[in-house]
Amino acid sequence: MDQFIVSQDLPHLPEITGRPVLMKLGHHTNTWGGVFGHPGGVTSIKDHFYLSPGFMDQAIREIAAAGYQGFELFDGNLATYENRKTDFRTLLRQTGITFQAVYCGANFIYPDILPDELWRIQKTVSLAAELGAEVLVLGGGALRADGRQKDDLTHLAEGLNKVAEIARLSGMIACYHPHHGTLVETPSEISSLLRLTTIGLCPDTGHIVEAGGNPADIIRQYQQRVRYVHLKDYRRGEFTLLGRGDVNVPAILSELRAMAFDGWITVEIDRYDGPPGEAARSAMNYLKSLEQ
């Protein structure tokens, strides 16, 4: 990872060792509607996609208009383009934006249903790779109603290693996303999982702070595993607009700059009461303000 990809349209950080280091910025489409589970997943594990109910064509156009280079989709939203691939490619060409990543998840701890979970992930990866995505972001690691069992983390790690290979064979990079409400939230849980896996890490800055961690420390400690970043803010039990919470965004960007990170940094705003495009523009303006 020698340097950041250069874009004249994106905010940049101060020079380090005489060389400007720039960010490759994307935005998640979940601001346009939030996140839900596909209803078919209640009775059929193979159909348990994430979904944002907003209009994805509109989301992609507004993300591009706000100045981002790329976007991330949920697997369920990606699936809606399976029979509209030409429309999707036309949209990318018209907006000049990159389809950078797809997000999906699984329980991973129940051996009986793992084949169906992997079938769904394989289907997602195949379509995402065909449409040009670079990164597969994985959430998961179910918490049982009666508590953790001693083999749960091992099962999660084994499943993630299989997914990493599925992604590799399709030319994509797989990254695990620690998430509130799963087996892996805290810094110690992240450490335990990474010792058992080969998968890349997608630190979500908001979830890390929510779990009592320091995102800049996590990025520094596991910089060889960090392949993708969710840049999210958090305060008092809620995710906020970027720059409005307790997440030390400048420190995070400084760590990424120091390691010459050349992957995608993806702004994620789960919830916003106003127009979604306004939230995306607010985040971009905040990042630009850090130049001053």
> What is the set of domains in the chain, with CATH numbers?
24-289 (3.20.20.150)
Residue 141 confidence (pLDDT): 97
pLDDT of 18 > 60? The answer is: no
In the predicted structure, residue 10 carries a pLDDT above the cut 80 = no
**Strand-pair partners of 204:** 230
Show the 3-state SS of 77-136.
HHHCCCCCHHHHHHHHHHHCCEEEEEEEEECCCCCCCHHHHHHHHHHHHHHHHHCCCCEE
Residue 44 to residue 230: CA distance in whole angstroms: 29
Mean pLDDT along residues 207-213: 97
For residue 1, is pLDDT > 50? no
Provide the token pair at 70: 């790329």
pLDDT band per the 50, 70, 90 thresholds, residue 271: confident
Do 242 and 269 meet the contact criterion of CB atoms below 8 Å apart?
yes
Share of the chain above pLDDT 90, in %: 88
Q: What is the mean pLDDT of residues 280-288?
A: 96
* pLDDT (0 to 100) of residue 22: 54
Give 141-194 as a DSSP string. Answer: -PPPTT---TTHHHHHHHHHHHHHHHHHHTT-EEEE---TTSS--SHHHHHHHH
What is the average per-residue pLDDT within 31-48?
A: 91
pLDDT tens for residues 217-244? Answer: 999 999 999 999 999 999 999 999 999 9
Phi, psi of 12 (to 5 degrees): -125, 160
pLDDT category of residue 292 using cuts at 50, 70 and 90 = low
pLDDT in tens, 129-183: 999 999 999 999 999 999 999 999 999 999 999 999 999 999 999 999 999 999 9
> Which H helix or E strand runs over 201?
strand 200-201
Is pLDDT above 50 for 82?
A: yes
Please say if the pLDDT value at position 3 is more than 70. no
pTM of the model: 0.91
Please report the pLDDT score of residue 159 as a whole number.
98
